[in-house]
Structure 1
Amino acid sequence: MITLRETIEELGYNMLDTFKYFTPTGSDTIFELSNDSDCWAICDVGMFPKEIEVWVVGGGEGEGEAPSVESEGESESGDYLDEFENSGDEVGNDDLEFEANVDNNVEFDGVRESEQLVDGESTRVVDNDHGLQLSDEDSAKDSDEEGNMKWPEFRATTQMRSPKFCVGLTFASKVEFKDAVHNYGFNNGKELKFIRNDKERVYVRCKQAGCPFRINLWKVKNALSWRIASYNELHDGCGWVYENTMVKSTRIAKRWMKEIGGNSNWTTAEFRERVKADEGFDLSTKQAYRAMKKAKQIIEGEAIEFFNKIWSYKLEIEKTNPNTTCKVKVSDLLYEEKPRFLRMYFCWEASKEGYKFCRKLIGVDGCHLKTKFGGQLLTAIGIDGNASIFPLAYAIVEGETKDSWIWFLNFIKTDLEITREAEQQLTFISDKQKGLLPAFDEVFPYASHRFCVRHLHGNMKLGGFLGKAMKDALWTIAKATTVNSFREAMAEIRKLDEEAYQWLGDKHPSEWSRSHFTPFARSDALVNNISESFNALILDARKQPLISCLETIRKILMTKFFENKQKPVKWKGPFCPNIMKKIDSVEKDASGCLGNQANENLFEIRHGNVPVHHYVDPCYSITNYLNTYGGRIKPLSGPKEWPISNQEPPLPPLYTSKPGRPRKLRKIDRDESTHVNTHEL
């Protein structure tokens, strides 16, 4: 009886105590079900047919209740009831005899066609034609099973964005149902309202007068579930609603949080236009502003939560990539008995091994992170045999200071195994950042340094030396390849401006002119495009919270390292394709030259046709390129599978916002080209 009552309750009825239950017998009479013995009695196939009909007689159907259970025949006929009452004694005696022979230790499960009696015992017959499902993986995926009743379940993770309703669809909570209704309204351009919303039921109607659309949701008895009892999906006479009162800033913030986070430079007008184009409804300026503000607050809250996973993230990297260096530095001062996050450094094992086959030129630079907590990303980038960038190390720090650069460069020196002898053959290229210069003097006193000529020209303009003639003269000096050509170019700029000549004379030519570069770097680069290219590659990552930023960079490097390792399969010749292009150009220019050899590495070039690639350094070979990308960055598990750390998670770093609207892009000089000749990764 309990199962019968619960079934009726699940169909949406209430006041179950007013209901009566009847079933027809084989002798054209009806039998009332009033207790468990009556239910067991219907198993007597001699008295009842195989297919049992249950008639429910009770109070009227209220507003919005589940579809009525229609009875066939006149279940309330006085004649039938009188006949049943007259046979009560006989049935009652049968009940007493039945109960006297019931084994109370056995739970009755009904008679099924799949059971056979063998030697007085019940044997279950399994139909193997359909296969035997031994796994319970899908046991709770498709439906909610209560007894013999199966109900479809709503999967919020996959169905919430585009929900579809049906009778019996079961929700985990009323809030989940209301979110689904709002998304349905957004997707279909309908304006819906909740006409009843209490502890037991929720009724949804269309605001358009006369529209038959309706959804009635009831709470499932004795369960933490809500189920649709009745549903009419038809809309009649109501078109697409552009000014929808269901549209609230909070819900728009949830629906558009990912897009807002990835487009932090959106204006309110741009956001309104995007919502109008994609969703099909209008937002007021105030709604758009509030939605963007709320979404950013949610994102910032998630960003704070990321700092609680710092130590677990570090442990996961050490577990999956054991030879990778990952260092975290927190503040010495405590705030609310907790330290604050300061810095985090990475040098992957694949980068350590690949550096051994790169040219001895490292570009270092810093770029701003575009999140609430600010900070900067320091990078060290090498060049592979195909003249493409090869990331070596990177770190998130509080700013480009002498202390942060020393901390970063010391790790690089250790991880890349740069000895005193190797340091003397190493060249760094960077801008003239004040904190970087003393850091080089302390960590790499014997290394050579180059300064980006583009930044040098910028400083020159700040000194008051302007004009195209001055710019051309500077680049002529920088591109000079011999000491004599350098002196001639310096004499030309002296004719233009004596003060400019003196200003350049204070800077050693080994820092910015090819005429004084050492040969160990095997590169004549004058600008730090290798760092600029990497900064552009991770532009989206720089807008993301801490761990998301680091994970995006890791995935970029992991993918690119593998892709670059596959490229040589299609290459032909002894050297990488970018180098072969340069060789072809040099061969054309040197086609009329003749060379006389003085020793193994010394030639006097006059005229001749000796193949140029005989004089190309092995660092540009395909074999060397394959060795550069011989390592790999191994994947990480999801955050839920990261090791649990006992260390106290640090607080987010302190951030002081500057006055005015933050700048999204670097300021471009008037005479600077907007097209940057970037290197590939």
Structure 2
Amino acid sequence: MLSWQWFLQCLGDDLDMDSRSKFTFMSDRQKGLIQAVERVFPCAEHRYCVRHITENVKQIFKGKIYRDAIWKLATCTTAAHYEREMHILKRLSKRAHLWVSKIPPEHWSRSHFTGRALSDVLINNMCEVFHSKLVDGRDKPMITLLEYIREYLMRKIVNVLKVIDKSSGLLTPYATNIMESVKKEANRYTLHWNGEEHYQVTGPNGDQCVVNMRTNTCACRRWEVTGIPCRHVVASIWVKAAHDPNVGKPESFVNPIHTMERWKDVYSYKVYPINGLSMWPKSHVPTLITAPKYHKPIGRPKKSRKKSHVEKEEATTGKKGKKATGKSVEVEVQGPSKKAKNS
């Protein structure tokens, strides 16, 4: 835990974070990290990667049904829905229900997220993707590795700026795609207006939620958690626009963090090139740091990280439970909508 505390303190110094900072961390629940975050940043939120929770579940409870139950709990957006799914899990296995109950839902279920982060991300795939881009530089000396990271970031920023130049509209391409799918779903909903700022929205499957346009909230909590209006809110905006022409389009109700303007601001900071090693100024520090003793192990060093049990299974099986050889086998495969794609 002390090592994690030291790391978080250094991170706070680099990002100008103090103990009152309200950042959101996501981790794999490494030993000592949970306690370290609570001590160094007591006001921050700490989310647990659901993918790693399902890996732990598989080691204790065999069967795809338990992993599916975890994902249903994680994707719930209301506390009532979460309690119903927990009730179903209890009927399935009291032991599994007790195991899941020990993990506080505010760390891994959307139903208990505060909405402060304006993100419903459940896995730390962003970190894994960045880590995969640094594989070729991991075996290099420290300065060479830092140079490798700096050059990668320079290329990454330029590539994103090219995408920004080709994009148009109020929202980012990701938020635009979400809004288009939400609009298609909103067409199937009916509303009852109370004459003020409250709307009762009913869907074809019997789901019914109350939208409060004064507080910008919906009973399903998707708007609150992600900052993007849900289908209930979009249907309410259309009805409100029919009575007030100054309401605007549904895109105008999206949180500013999803706008093109904010996206441009994020990538307005550049990583600058530097001269070669031969042009670096000499250090006048009298202390000479010698290289540590190094014992070269037998065999070729491994570059790839150690894969989890679930990743090994996904690498050797397909969606229908077939190995790469084409022979059918009886295995449990996680659905494509719930597994992280490492690239």
Matches within 5 A, 1:98-109: none
Which residue of structure 2 aligns with residue 445 of structure 1?
42
Aligned equivalent of 1:432, options 25, 29, 35? 29
Measure how far apart 1:480 and its partner are. Answer: 0.9
1:625 counterpart = 2:297: no
Structure 2: how far apart are the matches of 1:461 and 1:659? 34
Which residue of structure 2 aligns with residue 516 of structure 1?
112
Q: What is the one-letter code of the residue matched to 1:418?
A: M
Whether contact under 8 Å (1:595, 1:608) holds in the other structure is: no
Give the number of the structure whose residues are more often helix, by fraction: 2
Whether contact under 8 Å (2:24, 2:47) holds in the other structure is: yes
Give the number of the structure whose residues are more often strand, by fraction: 1
Aligned equivalent of 2:170, options 549, 571, 574? 574
SS of 2:309's partner is coil
1:525 counterpart = 2:121: yes
Please list the CA deviations of residues 238-261 of structure 1 after superposition, one character each: whole Å capped at 9, or x if unmatched. xxxxxxxxxxxxxxxxxxxxxxxx
Structure 2: how far apart are the matches of 1:556 and 1:588? 39
Measure how far apart 1:595 and its partner are. Answer: 7.9
Measure how far apart 1:658 and its partner are. Answer: 7.9
Structure 1: how far apart are the matches of 2:292 and 2:215? 55
Cα distance, 1:595–1:653 mapped onto 2, change above 3 Å: farther
Aligned equivalent of 2:282, options 644, 650, 654? 644
Whether contact under 8 Å (2:170, 2:259) holds in the other structure is: yes
Measure how far apart 1:643 and its partner are. Answer: 0.9
Cα distance, 1:435–1:661 mapped onto 2, change above 3 Å: farther
Cα distance, 1:447–1:665 mapped onto 2, change above 3 Å: closer
Whether contact under 8 Å (2:123, 2:340) holds in the other structure is: no
SS of 1:540's partner is helix
Whether contact under 8 Å (1:481, 1:515) holds in the other structure is: yes
Whether contact under 8 Å (2:74, 2:109) holds in the other structure is: yes
Matches within 5 A, 1:160-559: 402-423=1-22, 426-462=23-59, 464-559=60-155
Cα distance, 1:422–1:442 mapped onto 2, change above 3 Å: closer
Please list the CA deviations of residues 433-473 of structure 1 after superposition, one character each: whole Å capped at 9, or x if unmatched. 113223212211221111101111222233x2121011111
Measure how far apart 1:651 and its partner are. Answer: 2.9
Cα distance, 1:655–1:439 mapped onto 2, change above 3 Å: farther
Whether contact under 8 Å (1:595, 1:603) holds in the other structure is: no
Structure 2: how far apart are the matches of 1:523 and 1:556? 26
1:601 counterpart = 2:220: no
Which residue of structure 1 aligns with residue 307 of structure 2?
667
Whether contact under 8 Å (2:26, 2:124) holds in the other structure is: yes
Whether contact under 8 Å (2:58, 2:67) holds in the other structure is: no
Cα distance, 1:485–1:575 mapped onto 2, change above 3 Å: same
Structure 2: how far apart are the matches of 1:480 and 1:567? 33
Whether contact under 8 Å (1:427, 1:448) holds in the other structure is: yes
Please list the CA deviations of residues 273-331 of structure 1 after superposition, one character each: whole Å capped at 9, or x if unmatched. xxxxxxxxxxxxxxxxxxxxxxxxxxxxxxxxxxxxxxxxxxxxxxxxxxxxxxxxxxx
Cα distance, 1:609–1:601 mapped onto 2, change above 3 Å: closer
Measure how far apart 1:561 and its partner are. Answer: 1.8
Unaligned runs of 5+ in 2: 198-211, 219-231, 239-248, 316-338
Please list the CA deviations of residues 469-512 of structure 1 after superposition, one character each: whole Å capped at 9, or x if unmatched. 11111111111111011011111111221111111111110111
Cα distance, 1:430–1:510 mapped onto 2, change above 3 Å: same
Whether contact under 8 Å (1:430, 1:452) holds in the other structure is: yes
Q: Among the aligned pairs, what percent are the same residue? A: 33
Unaligned runs of 5+ in 1: 1-401
Q: What is the one-letter code of the residue matched to 1:673?
A: E
Structure 2: how far apart are the matches of 1:673 and 1:414? 40
Cα distance, 1:638–1:458 mapped onto 2, change above 3 Å: same
Measure how far apart 1:603 and its partner are. Answer: 5.4
Whether contact under 8 Å (2:154, 2:270) holds in the other structure is: yes
Whether contact under 8 Å (2:21, 2:41) holds in the other structure is: no
Aligned equivalent of 1:634, options 255, 264, 272? 272
Whether contact under 8 Å (1:592, 1:609) holds in the other structure is: no
Structure 2: how far apart are the matches of 1:659 and 1:432? 32
Structure 2: how far apart are the matches of 1:553 and 1:581? 31
Please list the CA deviations of residues 612-662 of structure 1 after superposition, one character each: whole Å capped at 9, or x if unmatched. 323211001111111111111121111111110123342334567889876
Structure 2: how far apart are the matches of 1:429 and 1:600? 32
Whether contact under 8 Å (2:57, 2:67) holds in the other structure is: no
Which residue of structure 2 aligns with residue 328 of structure 1?
none
TM-score, length basis structure 2: 0.72
SS of 1:449's partner is strand
Please list the CA deviations of residues 188-238 of structure 1 after superposition, one character each: whole Å capped at 9, or x if unmatched. xxxxxxxxxxxxxxxxxxxxxxxxxxxxxxxxxxxxxxxxxxxxxxxxxxx
Whether contact under 8 Å (1:429, 1:451) holds in the other structure is: yes
Whether contact under 8 Å (2:55, 2:310) holds in the other structure is: no
SS of 1:640's partner is helix
Q: What is the one-letter code of the residue matched to 1:669?
A: H
RMSD of aligned residue pairs (Cα, Å): 2.6
Structure 1: how far apart are the matches of 2:135 and 2:340? 15
Measure how far apart 1:601 and its partner are. Answer: 3.0
Structure 2: how far apart are the matches of 1:570 and 1:591? 30
Whether contact under 8 Å (2:21, 2:43) holds in the other structure is: no
Q: What is the one-letter code of the residue matched to 2:97?
A: Y
Structure 1: how far apart are the matches of 2:114 and 2:293? 43
Cα distance, 1:660–1:473 mapped onto 2, change above 3 Å: farther
Whether contact under 8 Å (1:591, 1:609) holds in the other structure is: no
Measure how far apart 1:407 and its partner are. Answer: 2.5
Please list the CA deviations of residues 513-549 of structure 1 after superposition, one character each: whole Å capped at 9, or x if unmatched. 1110110111111111011010011111113222221
Whether contact under 8 Å (1:592, 1:608) holds in the other structure is: no
Higher relative contact order (CA 8 A, sep 6+): 2
Cα distance, 1:421–1:445 mapped onto 2, change above 3 Å: closer
Structure with higher Rg: it is 1
Structure 2: how far apart are the matches of 1:502 and 1:603? 33
Please list the CA deviations of residues 364-386 of structure 1 after superposition, one character each: whole Å capped at 9, or x if unmatched. xxxxxxxxxxxxxxxxxxxxxxx
Cα distance, 1:613–1:654 mapped onto 2, change above 3 Å: farther
Cα distance, 1:535–1:482 mapped onto 2, change above 3 Å: same
Q: What is the one-letter code of the residue matched to 1:637?
A: N
Cα distance, 1:603–1:483 mapped onto 2, change above 3 Å: closer
